[in-house]
Amino acid sequence: MDKKMEKFLREIPKTDLHVHLDGSLRLSTLIELAKKENVQLPSYEDVGLNNLVFKENYENLGEYLKGFAYTCAVMQNEENLERIAYELALDNIAENVRYLEVRFAPQLHINKNLTFSQIIEAVSRGLERARKEHSQNGKLKNGEDIPFKYGVIVCAMRCFNEHFSSYYHDLVKTLNFAPRKEIFKIASMELARAAVKMKDEHGCPIVGFDLAGEESGYPPIYQKEAYDYVHKNFMGKTVHAGEAYGAESIFQAITECHTNRIGHGTFLFDHEEIKDTDITHPEEFSDKLANYMASRRISIEVCPTSNLQTIPALKNNIQNHPVKKMIDKKLSVSICTDNRLVSHTTVTKELSLIVENFSITPKQLRDLVIAGFKGSFYYSNYTDQRKFVRLVIDQYDKLAKELLA
């Protein structure tokens, strides 16, 4: 990739609609907080942690997820949560990300000293502090002032256990009569009610509801009640789907959970991954689903590096990733990081990976970047969002003319 394009990708306004707070700490902050909170790490040096935990390449999803036990362990009080959110916002602002949706599972942080509302408020304070600093001091290098905006997405968990959170242990004691899958549904419904209340009654910037965790064996339909509730309360909806399971998981997320966006969607076109025997023509099903998503502008949050690290079928080769097919099929695609620490990435790196490895036309690149702004769960009203998108488009076009001519 030439120097002009490198500079262009750095300086254009960008979004990240799919980034996990607990996967995106600064490594130095993790080490510092672990020492302060007496959290045992395999190493207290950057090199050691990167060699042992946060690798460039992982054997499987299990190894990839190993690091979250350490990050979540230092995210159990308000001070740490606020700092981590603040630093994440600063890191995004520094690479000209101008709209950020931070997602996390509050039920992994709830403890006897930390409530759901305290968790949300702490993260919001950190993001807001960064926003205010940028509004006072921050400008793009060419002097064009574009505000930094953000939203919070709360994640329900498909499944979790006492090793994930003390919350689950207490919930099991309260609901000892219920089967595990029923407990997960109850937990999601409790989270949905709390999120809507915080958004509507306390003005917290919760813009969306997500479903994360192990996909196989825990289809989206199990969480239908929680999604029905947030849907009726006008909250944005996204679902991790098609990441470790076939297109029918994406179909369920759309039809049963009313989702506006799909997290990952990597197996959308892989009809061989469809397991539902009622789908007699899998290839046709995948094509119709993709066409439906394209026509309804149901966005896909694509996280290329993370997918390469966690999906063995891609064989760690970006050419095997379906992102180019998604783009060619006119799907609404936004490029995201997933986990900045765990995947050692940034939005700029992810866009560079696409540009360097696929034949992307100038129009396709423009659409790819703008799709993030258009597909966001923007916290304010739609009129304001349109004005913000127009500001971004004008800036993008200006930089394209100046830097790529």
What are 196-242's pLDDT values in tens digits? Answer: 999 999 899 999 999 998 887 888 999 999 999 999 999 999 999 99
Q: What is the CATH number of the domain that holds 25?
A: 3.20.20.140
Catalytic site includes residue 243 = yes
Find the mean pLDDT for residues 283-310: 96
Give me Rg for the CA atoms of the chain.
Answer: 20
Residue 391 CB burial class (10 angstroms; 0-12, 13-18, ≥19): middle
What stretches of 344-381 show up as alpha helix (H) in DSSP? 347-357, 362-374
Q: What percent of the chain has pLDDT over 90?
A: 80
Q: What percent of the chain has pLDDT over 70?
A: 97
Give the predicted TM-score (pTM) of the model.
0.95
Please give the Cα distance from 383 to 318 (Å, whole number).
Answer: 38
Q: Which of 82, 101, 215, 243 is catalytic?
A: 243
Q: Find the helix or strand (DSSP H, E) in which 153 lies.
A: strand 149-157
Instruction: Yes or no: say if 283 and 38 are a contact pair by the CB < 8 Å rule.
Output: no
Instruction: Yes or no: say if 79 and 113 are a contact pair by the CB < 8 Å rule.
Output: no
pLDDT of 305 reads 97
| Amino acid identity for residue 211 in this structure | L
What stretches of 175-281 show up as alpha helix (H) in DSSP? 180-202, 224-232, 247-255
pLDDT of 141 reads 45
pLDDT of 183 reads 84
What are 85-129's pLDDT values in tens digits? Answer: 999 999 999 999 999 999 999 999 999 999 999 999 999 999 999
Nearest CA to 210 out of 194, 230, 190 is that of 230
User: Tokens for 164?
Assistant: 């994930």
The pLDDT mean for the chain works out to 93
Please give the Cα distance from 206 to 47 (Å, whole number).
Answer: 36
DSSP letters, 178-189, are S-HHHHHHHHHH
Please give the Cα distance from 17 to 374 (Å, whole number).
Answer: 11
The DSSP letter of residue 76 is S
Q: Find the helix or strand (DSSP H, E) in which 99 lies.
A: strand 97-104
Number of domains in the chain: 1
For residue 14, give its domain range. 3-403
What are 333-378's pLDDT values in tens digits? Answer: 999 999 999 999 999 999 999 999 999 999 999 999 999 999 999 9
User: Tokens for 161?
Assistant: 């256990």
What are 140-166's pLDDT values in tens digits? Answer: 444 557 899 999 999 999 987 766 777
Find the mean pLDDT for residues 1-6: 92
Find the mean pLDDT for residues 38-58: 95
- Sequence length of the chain is 405
Instruction: Yes or no: say if 361 and 136 are a contact pair by the CB < 8 Å rule.
Output: no
Q: From the centroid of its chain, how far is CA 184?
A: 21
Residue 16, beta-bridge partner list? 100
Residue 101: phi and psi, rounded to 5, are -115, 110
pLDDT of 143 reads 53
